Every structure is written in structure tokens, then in C-alpha cells.
Structure 1
Amino acid sequence: MLSVRTNHSVSALSLMLPGILLLGLAGTLALRTGVLPQPGVALVATPETIVVEPRTFRYRQAGEFFKAGFAVDAPMLEVAPGEPLTITKYQISAADYDRCVADGACPARESTIPSLQDMPATGVSYDDAEAYAAWLSRHDNAVWSLPSDEQLAFAAGSKFPDDALGVDPDSKNPALRWLADYQREAARKASREPAPQPFGHFGENEYGLADFGGNVWEWTTTCNRRVNLGTSGEVVEEVESCGIYVASGKHRAPLSAFVREPKGGGCSVGTPPDNVGFRLVRDDRWFARLFFAFRQTSL
């Protein structure tokens, strides 16, 4: 009887072995491609988030708009997202970003801000922020990315700026636009507190989003664009510059993807931001990690 039971055990093990090996191989591939989070030094606390529930809101599009050769205000849209948005309550901290640097996945910050958990990571480019989002996604149970300008406007609510000049779009007088633009830029004088401040210093908006519109502008995935409108306001031509991205804060600022210190001349137009950092949105769609893995393997 003993020999019979042993033979059955060996037979069962031989049948199970291919399945065990396949599971192990699948797990290894999943870790390498990013389908599953990777263990290690990157196992840090998930960023604190808020959830902004769906609502209808008004949003002025980002970009440079022209009509009959004259600069005009971007059209105002009524937007109704169908899903809630999960976004980090605060900007990504200097301490969290520096963990990515220590792990060899992010370039060092160009900032003198100490590596603290309650201070925003500044002196980071768009490319740096993208690297951090990918790093966090590889080591967390969620997929993270930079928000679009529209998503940031949705979360920022009443704190999101309206960059409109307020000039009649049918006016043919360029002096009116020049004067309006001059007055707007004059109002954007240097901040009394140009140095980044601890989290919570600039308060929260009506949805609990902290510090938006303080002295740290935030990277978005929205490419800068030039749009020509027809006589009825229809788009007749649109050119995107995806090496230049919109950073949003007290006002929008188009910045080259490699810029870390905008006051050094990186802002293509207008008053430069005091500092630039970023926050992230969490993708809760069921296929998010598969999509993330595909993007990682195709890079």
C-alpha cells in the first residue's frame, strides 16, 4: 500500500509541475513588464489622494488661439466628466521624489529644497515627472500619471485661473489686445513668497485639493498648441507642439519638457512660474495596468 501511495504522489506532482512552472514564468514576466508591482526599495506609502466626483464645469481651453490673424481668448467649453477623478491631495513631495532618485529611476532635482515629506519636489522637468510616475506605478498597486490640463481644472475648481484677456474677438484694433495683455502681465508680479512652502501653506479648495495656485506650478500632459479659428469660431487649423507642455498654477505657462527651473528662461511666453513641480492622478480602470505594461515594453 505504501508503494502505491508514493507512486500516486509522484504522478500527481509530475502533472502539477508544468502548471507550477508556467505560473512562475507568468509571474516573472508580469513583474518585468509592470503588470504586477515590483517589490523592493520602492515600496513606499501611496500618496494621499482626494476623489473629485463628476460634475459639469466650465473650462477655457489651453493654447494660443487666433482669429483673422489676431490673438483671441480660447473658447469656453462646458465639460461633464462621466467618472470621478482620483488625484493626489498635495504635490509629490521632495522626499518621495528623492526615493526614486536613490533607486536610480529619476534624475536628481535642480532645487535646494531639502528632502522632506511635507515639501513639494521642485526643480523637476516634465520628463522627470513622467519618470517618477512610471517608477511609482511599477512599485505600487495602482497606475499613476500626470493629469491633463482639463483634469487639473476639474480638480482645482474655483482656484483654476481664467487667462482670458476679455477683448472683443471681432475687434480689429491690435492696441486693445496689447493693452489687455500688458495689464494682465503687470498683474502677474513676482510672488512675495517665491520659495516653495510646506504642504497646506496655501490652503485647500472646495474639493480638498491643497496648495493649487500657490507658488508651485504643476506639469500637465497637455501639449501647447496654436489654433486658428474661422469667422464663426470653428477650428480651421491646429498645430500641436508636444515638446512644450502646459504647466498650470496662478496662470498657465507653456514650458519645454526639459525645463526644471522656469525662471531661468524656460517659459516661452509671459511671466515665468516661480517654481515647477507636479501631482499625479490614479487610473482605476480595470485595464490600466495592462496598458501601462504595454507602454513600458514599447519604450
Structure 2
Amino acid sequence: MVQIAGGTFRMGSDDPRFHDSQPVHRVTLAGFWMDKYPVTNAQFDRFVAATGYKTVAERPLDPKEFPGVPLDKLVPGAVVFTPPDHAVRLDDVTQWWSYVPKADWRHPEGPTSDLKGRESHPVVQVAYEDAAAYAKWAGKRLPTEAEWEFAARGGLDQKPFVWGNTFAPGGKQMANTFNGDFPYKNTQADGFARTSPVGSFPANAFGLYDMAGNVWQWCSDWYRPDYFSQSPEKNPKGPEDSLDPDEPGVLKRVQKGGSFLCCEAYCARYMPGGRGKGDINTGSSHIGFRCVKDVSP
């Protein structure tokens, strides 16, 4: 882990695409420790071996929660990126996301996939509950959104990227993001079609890796688009409840950092001020996490 000294920074973004990241506001945090990398498949495997834990995607589905669905269709699984072979409208995510039966953290793209050669890749297909369970077992916790963004910025005040002002300085790829025409044509200019081994790209100024791209990372805050207008300055922990006007009945937590699917034309939330949001009961093939720990008094 890396010790992050406490401090004050300007949180959020003035980017007009990120309406829920406004207003930019002053935040002061106590110090904490943060994992140098996202939690890997190998680390999560040790947790499962020690505890027998079953992730949300591996558990039987309750017929009461899916009235009218035939029992033979109630197969555990998860959401997987399934790129089309042609250009599609970017306002319909069902064009590139599919529910795949028996997809889970051991089989990220479905039952015929596995983790061979991906031991050092970040674990994916973890719901919020799964990430929190690992953190508790490890004697840690999930970061608040403010902690995550402060750490990601690495002392760079309101820079658009965790490394500075330019996405690819001197043509150098700084993170695992989508290159090409999303979602159907990935040039893999960064060397990867999906996740990459943690630490494949340069660390930020605090010595943290994968704070942009690769996988989205769960934070402990409930998601509300209006929270920044009412957030306290000192050690904010997020709102008391969740509200996403687009899906008011779905409980969501904040996700940060973007993923291998983010690009300038779609998402672009690999910027530290960008915010993601996720159904707490759903993982996907581009969502992972890292942990933090309080500094002992």
C-alpha cells in the first residue's frame, strides 16, 4: 500500500460533459493508505479460497425477484462487453453489453473463458457487496469518492488527466483505454483489447497505478448527481442515500477511473474529475476495485 498524506484539493470538474461533477469544490481529507494497484484475480482467489465466498454473479437467482420469468431462464451470470461488428448509435448500451449466463469473476466473458494468464489482471465481475467483503477480509475498506479522486490527482490541481494536461504526451499511451471507433473497432494502440496486467502503465505522482482506465473502481459513496452542491468540506463520505434520476428505483454507488472501454468519443471518464455510477448488485467485465486503510493514530 501507499501512504497518502492528508491535504486539501479542488474536487470535481468543470468539463461540460460531466454535469454531475459540478460544482468544483474544496475538500480537505485526513491521511490514509491506498492499494498501489487494483485488486487482482490472484488476490481475489486467495480471499475466496480462505473464506469460501460466493460472488453475487455465482449465486442462484430468486424467482420472487423475477416474476414471470421461466425457471429454466433464471441462470446466474453477469454483463459482458460484446462488441458489434459495425457502427452503432452510442445512446443504446444494449448494442455492446449482453447478459451472459454463467459469467462470473472466474469466467469474465462467460463459461468458456478463464483466468489463465490473467492472474495479475484486475478482478472483474464483482458487485459492490463482493468488493466490500474482500476489503473487510483484508482488514481494509473501500475508498470514499473524495479519497479516490484526491489520490488519483496526485497533487496536480484540476489537471484533466492524472498525469497532466495531455492525453497521450509525445504520443505515449498512459492508460488502458479504448482506441479507435467505439464500440466496434479497437485498434489496441495501447496493446490491450480488454483488461491489462496491473502496473502496465506509468504510476501517478503518488506512486499509484491504474488510476485511469483498465477497470472502473467501486467507491463507498452512494451516487447522487447533485451531491457536490451540498458536500461538506472535511472528509466527505457521500450522501445518505442513492438517487439516479435516470433509474430512480436502482441503488447505485460511485465508480471512478474509467475503464478499457472509455474513449474521447464515448465516456471519457478516465479523467479524475469524472464520475461513474453502478447498480450495487451488478458487476461487469470492466468493473473492479482497490482498497484503502485508515492511518493508525
Q: TM-score range by the shorter chain?
A: 0.5 to 0.7
Residue 58 of structure 1: which of 10, 16, 21 is its match?
Answer: 10
Q: Match of 2:276, as an amino acid? A: A
Name the counterpart of 1:92.
Answer: 39
Residue aligned with 2:242, SS:
strand
- Structure 2: which 5+ residue stretches go unaligned? 14-18, 56-103, 109-113, 162-179, 232-238, 244-249, 259-268, 270-274
Give the TM-score, by structure 1 length: 0.53
User: SS where residue 56 of structure 1 aligns?
Assistant: strand
Counterparts of 2:137 and 2:240 in 1: how far apart (Å)? 33
CA contact (8 A) 1:202 1:210 kept: yes
Give 2:277's aligned amino acid: P
Residue in 1 that maps onto 2:96: none
Matches of 1:101 and 1:79, distance apart in 2:
36
1:147 is the counterpart of 2:143: yes
- Alignment-derived partner of residue 209 in structure 2: 210
What's the CA shift for 1:259? 1.4
Structure with the greater alpha carbon radius of gyration? 1
1:121 to 109, 120, 123: 123
In the other structure, the counterpart of 1:130 is 132
| Deviation of 1:105 (Å) | 2.6
TM-score by length of 2: 0.53
Q: Structure with the greater relative contact order (CA < 8 A, sep ≥ 6): 1 or 2?
A: 2
Q: Which residue, 52, 58, 64 being the options, matches 1:104? A: 52
Do 1:227 and 1:239's aligned partners in 2 also have CA atoms closer than 8 Å? no
Residues 246 and 113 of structure 1, relative CA distance in 2, 3 Å threshold: farther
Relative to structure 1, the CA distance from residue 226 to residue 114 in structure 2 (aligned partners, 3 Å threshold; closer, same or farther) is: same
What is the deviation of 1:239? 6.3
The sequence identity of aligned pairs, in percent, is 27
Q: 1:280 maps to which residue?
A: 291
> What corresponds to 1:224 in structure 2?
223
- For 2:195 and 2:279, locate their aligned partners in 1 and report how far apart those are by CA, in whole Å: 21
Give, in angstroms, the shift of residue 116 of structure 1. Answer: 5.3
Task: Give the AA of the match of 1:156.
Answer: A
CA-based RMSD: 3.8
* Structure 2 counterpart of 1:201: 200
Relative to total residues, which structure has the larger helix share, 1 or 2?
Answer: 1
Change beyond 3 A, Cα 1:281–1:257:
same
| 8 Å CA contact retained: 2:31, 2:295 | no
Work out whether residues 226 and 238 of structure 1, in 8 Å CA contact, stay in contact via their aligned partners in 2: no
8 Å Cα contact 1:119/1:198 also seen in 2: yes
Secondary structure of the residue that 1:129 maps to in structure 2?
helix
d(CA) in 2 for partners of 1:253, 1:117: 26
User: How far 1:217 moved relative to its partner?
Assistant: 0.8
- The reply to whether residue 247 of structure 1 matches residue 194 of structure 2 is no
Matched, 1:78 2:55: no
Query: Which stretches in structure 1 are left out of the alignment for 5+ residues?
Result: 1-48, 62-70, 138-143, 164-186, 263-274, 287-299
